[in-house]
Amino acid sequence: MFNEKGFHATSLDEVAASLGVTKPVIYYYLGNKENVLLECVRRGLDELQAATDLAHLEPGTGSQRLRAYLLRYAEFSLSDFGRCTTRTESKLLSSESADELLTLKRRVDHTLRELIQEGIDDGSIAAADTRLAAFTLFGALNWTAHWYSERGPDRPEVIADKMVTLLLDGLIPRDQAATGA
């Protein structure tokens, strides 16, 4: 519901109906609509943490682990929880909830920067600025929450693979990139 209509345009009655429960059930277990949204974001970020853990277990270079993580992240960004997580802005929430959201999202940002740095350290990534690289990658992958449609021609895993390949390998062939042509 939050993905379709937005947080403020979605009523608690609609949330309850979509879950097949009553409003009092939501009040009892979660308290209010904002807590429902935060629980969705928490679950989404738990999925990302699992993707992080898997990426760190991947064999190979830092760039290979980064690619594995970004593929999982891109697929996540195309899922319902992923779209909800990436579209939820802290400014829409109370200060307490906004602080929690920012803390959770910083953890994800820190993980990506670590993976980029591992690739820089082992020579498999040429980036010099991990912060800018992380912002660029997240910016591109998070934007899918705004344009992706399940009715589109490609499955999420195909879109994820195409995007990650484009982001990591670029548009310009290597021989042309080296000469500046």
Domain boundaries, the chain: 34-179
Instruction: Report residue 178's pLDDT band, with 50, 70 and 90 as the boundaries.
Output: low
Question: Residue 108: how many CB atoms within 10 A of its CB?
Answer: 19
Higher pLDDT among residues 150 and 74, named by residue: 74
The pLDDT, as a whole number, for residue 23 is 83
| Rounded CA separation 157/78 (Å) | 9
Angle between helices 33-57 and 62-77 (to 10 degrees): 150
pLDDT of 181 above 60: no
34-179 maps to which CATH number?
1.10.357.10
